[in-house]
Chains A and B, each alone.
Chain A
Amino acid sequence: MNRAPARDLLWLYTRIGNTTFGGGDPTMAALQKQLLDRQWISPDEYGMVYGIARATPGTNVTAFCAGTGWLARGLLGAILAAVGSTLPSSILVVLLTAGFIFWRDNPPAMAAINGMLAAAAGLMGGAALVLLRPNYPERALRATAILAFAALLTFRFGLTPIQVLGLAAIVGAIWKP
């Protein structure tokens, strides 16, 4: 893995963290490609941080940024990633709070936001494929079983993400690769 230059790292998290709408998952999906392309973290590390970020209190995506920043560039990387991914949007939140009434009653602004949310959906489908790919074809049966199990619990039984990930960790530990 490459050691990330501090300035590149700050810019990456600032750019991705503040230009993706719809919460944490689209942001983590967009960061995945960038971090893997630069070889700052490996696909296994991405999965590990994703899972642990879910189990960390507070905003998952900020914990995810701190965790991946730490793997890429130590403590400085963690701080730059957490601050870079949150500070500009937080300033915008303050500005929006001041002018909130205007936005809520403005149909074109709301329509633009809905369009960006739809584009994020396609991005996330691609991110899911990258996570799965290392498991095929060698461990196809195990991966397909865990995937189906997780999908069933999520879509059918409405378990929360933290419950699904916890159960998947137990299955993965028992059914070793």
Chain B
Amino acid sequence: MNSFVLYLYLVKATLTSFSGLTSLPVIQRDLVETRHVLTESQLNAAVAAGRTSPGPIGSYVVSVGYFVDGIPGAIAGYFAMITPAFLILPLLRYVGSRAEQPRVKGAIQGVTIAAAALIVSATRPSPATPSPAGCRPQSPRPPS
């Protein structure tokens, strides 16, 4: 598969996800089931590589790219991983320019306080938290 096409598939997955592994079902459907350029066990190994290395778990898409197309694929995966991050700039500009309004100020404070609770909750594994629909369990599965 052409690296640019691979980039488009991977960026489609990262743009429609909101945390580390929620892009997984999209990648599985597109690359494993539809295009057959990746196997299930390669996908599992990619997730494990992303979790084993330091930094964001979302870096598993770099590993996916490497499995599909070697180094050019890994570069495509890298750009697919960081592209959506820059969407935060217009969002910040929009919110920041209104930060002095009392309601916006209140909303930002509410988010900040809730963030403290979320940070604490992230320190423990929480079986009560359902994974998003179709998302895999957190631990890598044995290769099938």
Partner of A131, one of B62, B112, B124, B128: B112
Contacting residues, chain B, for A75 (C-beta < 8 A): 89
Q: Give which listed residue, A18, A50, A94, contacts B66 with CB less than 8 A.
A: A94
Q: Which residue of A lies closest to B102 (CB)?
A: A176
Interface size class on chain A is 35 or more
Residues of A within 8 A of B15 (CB): 57-58
Residues A155 and B85 in contact in the complex (CB < 8 Å), given A90-B62, A100-B48, A165-B114: no
* Interfacial chain B residues near A150, Cβ < 8 Å: 113-114, 116-118
Central interface residue in B54, B63, B78, by most chain A CB within 10 Å = B54
Contact of A100 among B45, B62, B91, B106 (CB under 8 A): B45
Contacts of A139 in B (CB 8 A): 109
Flag B121-133 by CB within 8 Å of A: 1 or 0 each.
1111010111010
Nearest chain B residue, comparing its CB with the CB of A86: B82
- Is B110 a contact partner of A169 (Cβ separation < 8 A)? yes
Q: Mark B55-77, 1 if CB is under 8 A from A, else 0.
A: 11111101100110001001001
| Given A23-B57, A168-B113, A176:B103 Cβ within 8 A | yes
Q: A125-B123, A173-B103 are in contact. Are A93 and B59 (CB under 8 A)?
A: yes
* Segment from B1-9, B16-24, B27-35 that makes contact with A: B16-24
Q: Is the CB of A155 within 8 A of B54?
A: no
Complex: A171 Cα to B114 Cα, angstroms:
11
Smallest beta-carbon distance A8→chain B, Å: 20
CB distance from B32 to the nearest CB of A (A): 16
Would B81 and A90 count as touching, CB distance under 8 A?
yes
Extra A-B contacts (6), CB below 8 Å, given A57-B18, A59-B81, A169-B110: A27-B56, A56-B84, A56-B85, A63-B85, A66-B85, A132-B116
Residue numbers of A with Cβ under 8 A of B are: 17-21, 23-25, 27-29, 43-44, 46-67, 70-71, 75, 78, 82-83, 85-90, 92-94, 96-98, 100, 103-104, 113, 120-121, 124-125, 127-129, 131-132, 135, 139, 143, 146-147, 149-151, 154-158, 160-162, 164-165, 167-177
